[in-house]
Amino acid sequence: MKRARFAVGAAWGLLVATASVGCASHEAAVSRAALAATGSTYTTLEGVWEGEVWEIPSDYIQGVRRIAVKVSSDGSWTASTGGAICATGTAAVRDGLVILDGHRVGPVLCMPHSLKVGDGHMWAAFETSFRGGRTAAAMIGLKRVGGVAEAAEAADKR
């Protein structure tokens, strides 16, 4: 009798956990869409942002790569690393959070889905891959290095 009650209780617990995860995923997608549709101001993002993605070390190996992000006045953005474009999309800003809606171009996820922004910096933690094909937790830190005019000039020099 106790086994039957345990089995029924475990089944209900699993059902509730599954439903809550599904609802959370749906709510996250809805809130991302709502943030993107708020008509946020892109002037806080417009320009060129440069920085690095650092692997959070778990062993003696720590990967790092340089990254540059160019954000236009309409909120469209392009990220590049190693001289090649790695992701593109559109950005929305709300309450100090940048939501990046886009897709990667190539095998590496080079940008997180959201970053915190303030005082000319953007930062986040996310999972990405590094040399050798290993996937690991990483931190990204970007600093604004110029406006749109400087971005075009910097791209021409690279």
Strands (E), the chain: 47-55, 64-71, 76-81, 84-94, 97-104, 114-118, 121-130, 134-146
In a domain, 83, yes or no: yes
53/118 same-domain check = yes
pTM of the model: 0.67
Tens digit of each residue's pLDDT (9 = 90 or more) over 39-57? 455 667 899 999 999 998 7
99 close to 36: Cβ distance less than 8 angstroms: yes
Residue 23: domain span: 1-37
Residues 82 and 22 both lie in one domain = no
Q: Tens of pLDDT along the chain (158 residues)?
A: 444 444 434 444 443 333 444 443 334 444 444 444 444 556 678 999 999 999 987 676 788 999 999 999 999 999 999 989 999 999 999 888 999 999 999 888 899 999 999 999 999 999 998 887 788 899 999 999 987 555 445 544 44
Looking at the fold, whether 133 and 74 belong to one and the same domain comes out as yes
Question: Which 3 state secondary structure label does DSSP give 15?
Answer: helix
